[in-house]
Copies of this chain bind each other. A is one copy, B any other.
Amino acid sequence: MPINIGILGLGTVGSGVVSILQQNAEDIQTRTQSEIQIKKILVRNPELPRNIQGKFQLTDQANDILQDPEVDIIVEVIGGIEPARSYILEALRQGKHVVTANKDLLALHGQELLDAANTAGKDLYFEASVAGGIPIIAALKHALAANRISALIGIINGTTNYILSAMAEQGRDYFEVLAEAQSLGYAEADPSADVDGLDAARKLSILASIAFNSRVTLKDVFVEGISKITRQDLAYAAELGCTIKLLAIAKHHEESIEVRVHPAILPMNHPLAAVNGVYNAIYVVGDAVGETMFYGRGAGSLPTGSAVVSDIIRVIRNIQANSTSMINCTCYRDLGIKASSEFFTAFYIRLLVKDEPRVLATLALLFAEANISFASIIQKPRGEQQAEIVLVTHPCREGALQEALDSVRAYSKVLMIHNVIRFEKGEESNS
Contacts and interface: CB of A to CB of B under 8 A. Distances in A.
A294 interface: yes
A277 B428 CA distance: 14
Contacts of A292: 133-134, 294-297
B290 A303 contact: yes
A145 B28 CA distance: 8
A309 B296 contact: no
A305 interface: yes
Interface stretch (A61-69, A321-329, A364-372): A321-329
A291 B302 contact: no
A310 B139 CA distance: 10
Given A135-B144, A143-B127, A288-B305, A277 B313 contact: no
Interface string A305-319: 111111011100110
State which size class the interface on A falls in.
Answer: 35 or more
Contact of A288 (B290, B293, B303): B303
A373 to B, nearest CB: 30
Nearest to A273: B274
B306 A147 contact: yes
A353 B138 CA distance: 56
Interface stretch (A16-24, A77-85, A226-234, A392-400): A16-24
Contact of A327 (B274, B295, B317): B317
A380 interface: no
B288 A146 contact: no
A279 B296 CA distance: 18
A20 B294 CA distance: 23
A213 B28 CA distance: 12
B28 A431 contact: no
Contact of A296 (B278, B289, B302, B332): B289
Contact of A271 (B24, B295, B300): B295
B289 A302 contact: yes
B138 A313 contact: no
Nearest to A32: B145
Contact of A24 (B127, B147, B290, B430): B147
A2 B20 CA distance: 42
A254 B211 CA distance: 40
A142 interface: yes
A287 interface: yes
A146 B306 contact: yes
Contact of A145 (B148, B271, B305, B310): B310
A426 interface: no
A294 B297 contact: no
A363 to B, nearest CB: 36
Nearest to A293: B295
Given A146-B20, A314-B142, A303 B321 contact: no
Interface in A214-247: none
B27 A148 contact: yes
A288 B20 contact: yes
Contacts of A326: 317, 320-321
B306 A297 contact: no
A322 B323 CA distance: 7
B148 A143 contact: no
15 contacts: A20-B288, A31-B330, A133-B288, A133-B290, A135-B139, A135-B143, A138-B142, A144-B310, A145-B310, A146-B310, A146-B313, A271-B295, A289-B302, A294-B295, A317-B327
Given A286-B306, A294-B294, 9 more contacts: A24-B147, A24-B148, A133-B286, A146-B305, A271-B274, A276-B431, A277-B430, A279-B430, A291-B296
